[in-house]
Structure 1
């Protein structure tokens, strides 16, 4: 059974901790019943409650003592409520702490605006020295967790709530860039970020011929800089799809890194969600859905031919 990104993180970390006694798991009231790490390694699992800043400070001390701490809390609380602790621990000190942040974007849905995280990539990317990742699917999440544990470098890893996705690549390592589909050199290339951005891009390529799709896993400045040449040598026009605000997002970052290319974004915009709903309903209320992706492509390439299969009602409202 394929696991969600959040469950894949917990399972992979539990497996790694069997061989590495230095791995410690800290959670801020997200552990829940039957947390696999707590059951397997109860002496190395700590639930700090709703004390996110203190949790990251504690992780800094554990890292200084030679441990490899992984901490987890809601994305908005990790990057906003605990912003100073995150900056000092992961950035200034450069401690080998990995922050795994579920409930990114609006995956919290019914929890409301206080539990939505549409600014986390901007915050994490602004801290020098932090590896920022947004894996898609179980296999990519597992690879990111393994690489974070092996590297000892500070990491920020965003994921959703319980959505299950198949990774685009079964590789044992997580690559900064995964090509899902190629097209002609004059065609538009979709660039997907995170779980929902990748879902929307794969849906778009399924209903529209002639679209390329590149998926990005690692989003920090160093990793993005390393792949701009690979993107730019194949295509000149890009549409970046991300469950994040436009400000501080990856479309903005790529536009700065690729000034000779045309970069457009489909994102959560600047509005605040004011109504409840499930994950996809809240995304749609912000203008982040499949029609928005296709409309952006049409503005760049012209209307789709009449013969092209249109998405069904389920996809349209996703």
Structure 2
């Protein structure tokens, strides 16, 4: 069974840290006795459940000492002394790669986009999450990763693991009258189900939602005729629609929310058909 995104992050970061002694993990959760990073690299793991400015100070100090800090920030109910939005923003500015839950999206989305050179990734499935972690570890820039705790569906559709992480286009743009654009776990599940029902649809899977990632994806998406239908969890859908519409003026870009009790395959197919 595939790991959920948070567990895939922990497993991959543990492996990366085994090859790179600069990688350090900090979490705003109470220490988990089964945490793989803590077990493998106890001298580079820090659990800080009651955090304040000390976390940002630690990140700044670790960076100055040549380390590569990765910070996992939990949702608001679990962080009591500092607002999560301020916390992960300050850690990004201090040079850390930061992991936030989907509940924090789109709060602060525009702030991340205004941080020049900070990639914002929303991977789907275990393999994609691991690839994003490796890419963040190789980069000299801090990243913002949006990771949930549900088991990942993967991209499906016969996607190749070596496909670009900025977007994955499937289907023939000359033959497809419309295409789906999936974001995140819930959005990808819905898009894969809709494409199974209507194989003629194209499918573009987006991972990076920062300005550079969306601009690169828009160039590729402009090759496709007809309507675009974005499938994403409700909190992700509106900002992604706004940004894609601004980059593809005059093109029909619709949205169907994904998740429990949200949009279904029939709604996606109706939107793609222009009904």
1:230-260 CA distances to partner (integer Å, 9 max, x unpaired)?
1111234211111143686211110011113
Structure-2 residue corresponding to 1:295? 267
> Secondary structure, in 3 states, of the residue corresponding to 1:245?
helix
- Residue 259 of structure 1 aligns to a residue whose secondary structure is coil
Against the structure 1 CA distance between its residues 255 and 75, is the aligned structure 2 distance closer, same or farther, given a 3 Å change threshold? farther
2:21 equivalent to 1:24: no
Distance 1:252 1:27 in 2: 32
Q: Which residue of 1 aligns with 2:124?
A: 136
SS of 1:222's equivalent?
helix
Is 1:163 matched up with 2:135?
A: no
Offset at residue 54 of structure 1 (A): 4.2
Supply the distance in 1 between the matched residues of 2:233 and 2:52 (Cα, whole angstroms): 23
Deviation at 1:267, TM superposition (A): 3.0
Structure 2 vs 1, CA of residues 185 and 262 (structure 1 numbering), >3 Å: closer, same or farther? farther
Paired with 2:161 and 2:143, the residues of 1 have a C-alpha distance of 20
Offset at residue 73 of structure 1 (A): 2.3
SS in 1 for 2:59: helix
Which residue is 2:246 aligned to? Answer: 256
Work out the CA distance in 2 between the residues paired with 1:101 and 1:23.
18
**Partner residue in 2 for 1:119:** 106
Per the normalisation by structure 2, the TM-score is 0.86
Higher mean alpha-carbon deviation, 118-127 vs 23-32, is at: 118-127
- Counterpart in the other structure of 1:8: 8
Q: Does 1:87 align with 2:89?
A: yes
In angstroms, what is the RMSD of aligned CA positions?
A: 2.7
Q: Write the distance in 2 (CA, Å) between the matches of 1:55 and 1:43.
A: 16
- Out of 223, 244, 269, the residue aligned to residue 233 of structure 1 is 223
Structure 2 CA distance for aligned equivalents of residues 46 and 7 of structure 1: 17
| Cα distance in 1 for residues equivalent to 2:76 and 2:229 | 26
Q: Which runs of 5+ in 2 are unaligned?
A: none
Distance in 2 between residues matched to 1:173 and 1:149, nearest whole Å:
19
Q: Determine whether 1:245 maps to 2:235.
A: yes
Post-superposition CA distance 1:169-209 (Å, at most 9, x none): 45357520112334655612110011111111001111234
- Are 1:196 and 2:186 matched, yes or no? yes
Shift of 1:126: 4.3
Q: Which residue in the other structure is 1:310 paired with? A: none
For 1:311, the equivalent position in structure 2 comes to none
Contact 2:178/2:224 (8 A) holds in 1: no
C-alpha separation in 1, matches of 2:59 and 2:138: 17
User: For the residues of structure 2 that align with 1:139 and 1:131, how far apart are their CA atoms?
Assistant: 18
Any gaps of 5 or more consecutive residues in structure 1? 105-115, 269-279, 304-318
- Tell me: CA distance 1:166–1:302, structure 2 relative to 1, closer, same or farther (3 Å): closer
Aligned residues: 269
